[in-house]
C-alpha cells in the first residue's frame, strides 16, 4: 500500500523545504463550497490537507474553528458526508488527507468500522485530539492492521519522559503544538519552537510538524526553518468566515492568502 504521507515529506525534503499542511473544516460553509475550498488549497500547493471533522464540542479549537464547525453542522454536514467529501477530493487529487477529529466520533461508529470507512474513502491519517496514546490501544491496533496512520500531539507541557510513548504510538508525523491553549491566529510565535522540535526529533523517527497560531508568511518561514512541516488553519478558515456575505469571494481570498503563506515554506525567516 502506498504511503502518501511519507512520500510527500520525502518529496519536500528532496526539494529542500518543509511541508505546508493546511487545515479547514469539512463542510464549511456548505458541502459544495467546501469542496471548492479543498480544490483551491490543493491547486495552490498544499502538501497535506488536514480536514476538521465538524463536532458539537470541539474542545481544542479556538473561536474561528468552533464557528467553522458550527457552520458545517448547520449546513447539514454529517460524519458520512465528510467521508463523501474525501471521496470527491480523491477524484482529482492524491494529496495526503488527515482527519482532525475527536474520539467520540470514532467510537460511535465503531473503531474498526470508522477506520475501514475512512481508509476506503481515501483518508491517510487520524489526528484524534482527545485520545492520548495511553488510551489508544484499540484505535492503534485497528489502524495498524489496515495501514491507517495515527498522528499524536506533543505540547509545550509534555514531560520529556512521555515523548518515547508518543514516538512508539505515532505514525505519519508528530504534531508539535507551539503554544498552550486552543487554535487561533497569533501576532507572534513562541520563542522556543526550534529547541522543542530538536528535542522531539532526537526521540522520533518520523517528521515533526508545528501548528497552532501560525498565520503569516514570516511565521511560516520561521517554523519551516526548524521543522519538517508547518500547519496553518485559522488564517485560512478566516478567508471563509470573512466572506460569508458573498461566498463568491471565498476562493479568490483563499488563493491570495494561500499564495503568500506557501511562499514561506522554502524561504529564509523574514519579517511579517
What is the per-residue pLDDT for 191?
Answer: 62
pTM: 0.93
Residue 161 lies in a domain: yes
Half-sphere exposure of 244 (CA within 13 A, CB side): 12
What is the per-residue pLDDT for 268?
Answer: 39
What is the per-residue pLDDT for 266?
Answer: 79
On whether the CB atoms of residues 90 and 122 are closer than 8 A, the answer is yes
On whether the CB atoms of residues 180 and 198 are closer than 8 A, the answer is no
What is the per-residue pLDDT for 213?
Answer: 83
What total of structural domains would you count in the chain?
A: 1
pLDDT single digits (tens) 198-254: 999 999 999 999 998 899 999 999 999 999 999 999 999 999 999 999 999 999 999
What is the DSSP secondary structure assignment for residue 120, as one 8-state letter?
A: H
On whether the CB atoms of residues 71 and 28 are closer than 8 A, the answer is yes
Average pLDDT on 151-166 reads 93
Residue 270 lies in a domain: no
pLDDT single digits (tens) 108-153: 999 999 999 999 999 999 999 999 999 999 999 999 999 999 999 9
Which of the residues 28, 47, 61, 228 is marked catalytic? 61
pLDDT at 180 over 60: no
* Sequence-ordered list of residues with C-beta below 8 angstroms from that of 86, at least 6 positions apart, any chain: 51, 97, 118, 121, 122, 123
Going through 34-173 in order, the beta strands assigned E by DSSP cover 48-52, 97-101, 125-128, 149-154
pLDDT band at residue 178 under the 50/70/90 scheme: confident
On whether the CB atoms of residues 24 and 237 are closer than 8 A, the answer is yes
Going through the chain in order, the beta strands assigned E by DSSP cover 19-25, 48-52, 97-101, 125-128, 149-154, 174-177, 208-211, 229-232
Residue 272 lies in a domain: no
Residue 103 lies in a domain: yes
Q: What percent of the chain has pLDDT over 90?
A: 84
What is the per-residue pLDDT for 184?
Answer: 42
What is the per-residue pLDDT for 59?
Answer: 67
Look up the domain containing 238 and give its range: 4-262
Residue 267 lies in a domain: no
**In this structure, is the dihedral angle defined by the CA atoms of residues 133, 138, 141 and 144, taken in order, positive or negative?**
negative
On whether the CB atoms of residues 101 and 143 are closer than 8 A, the answer is no
pLDDT single digits (tens) 2-22: 799 999 999 999 999 999 999
HEC readout, 117-162: HHHHHCCCEEEECCCCHHHCHHHHHHHHHHCCEEEEEECCCCCHHH
Which of the residues 10, 30, 43, 50 is marked catalytic? 50
pLDDT single digits (tens) 60-114: 677 888 899 999 999 999 999 999 999 999 999 999 999 999 999 999 999 999 9
Strand partners, 97: 49
* Sequence-ordered list of residues with C-beta below 8 angstroms from that of 102, at least 6 positions apart, any chain: 53, 55, 57, 58, 59, 128, 129, 130
Residue 56 lies in a domain: yes
Q: What's the CATH code of the domain at 99?
A: 3.20.20.70
Residue 268 lies in a domain: no
What is the per-residue pLDDT for 65?
Answer: 83
50 included as an active-site residue? yes
What is the per-residue pLDDT for 269?
Answer: 38
Pick left, alpha or beta for residue 213 (phi over 0 → left; psi -120 to 50 → alpha; otherwise beta): left
pLDDT at 188 over 90: no
Amino acid at each position: 500500500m502506498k504511503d502518501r504521507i511519507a512520500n510527500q515529506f520525502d518529496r519536500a525534503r528532496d526539494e529542500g523545504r518543509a511541508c505546508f499542511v493546511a487545515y479547514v473544516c469539512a463542510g464549511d460553509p456548505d458541502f459544495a463550497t467546501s469542496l471548492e475550498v479543498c480544490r483551491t488549497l490543493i491547486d495552490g500547493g498544499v502538501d497535506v490537507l488536514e480536514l476538521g471533522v465538524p463536532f458539537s464540542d470541539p474542545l481544542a479549537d479556538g473561536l474561528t474553528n468552533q464557528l467553522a464547525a458550527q457552520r458545517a453542522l448547520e449546513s447539514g454536514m454529517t460524519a458520512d458526508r465528510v467521508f463523501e467529501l474525501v471521496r470527491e477530493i480523491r477524484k482529482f487529487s492524491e494529496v495526503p488527507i488527515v482527519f482532525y477529529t475527536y474520539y467520540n466520533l470514532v467510537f460511535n461508529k465503531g473503531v474498526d468500522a470508522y477506520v475501514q470507512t475512512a481508509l476506503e474513502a481515501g483518508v491517510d491519517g487520524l489526528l484524534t485530539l482527545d485520545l492520548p496514546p495511553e488510551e489508544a490501544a484499540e484505535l492503534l491496533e485497528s489502524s495498524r492492521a489496515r495501514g491507517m496512520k495515527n498522528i499524536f500531539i506533543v505540547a509545550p507541557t509534555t514531560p520529556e519522559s512521555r515523548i518515547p510513548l508518543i514516538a512508539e504510538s505515532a505514525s505519519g508525523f508528530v504534531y508539535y503544538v507551539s503554544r498552550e491553549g486552543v487554535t487561533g491566529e497569533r501576532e507572534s510565535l513562541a520563542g522556543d519552537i526550534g529547541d522543542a522540535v530538536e528535542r522531539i526529533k532526537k526521540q522520533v523517527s518520523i517528521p515533526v510538524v508545528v501548528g497552532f497560531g501560525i498565520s503569516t508568511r514570516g511565521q511560516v518561514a520561521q517554523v519551516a526553518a526548524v521543522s519538517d512541516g508547518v500547519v496553518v488553519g485559522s488564517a485560512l478558515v478566516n478567508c471563509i468566515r470573512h466572506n460569508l456575505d458573498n461566498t463568491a469571494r471565498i476562493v479568490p481570498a483563499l488563493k491570495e492568502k494561500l499564495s503568500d503563506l506557501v511562499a514561506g515554506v522554502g524561504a529564509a525567516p523574514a519579517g511579517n
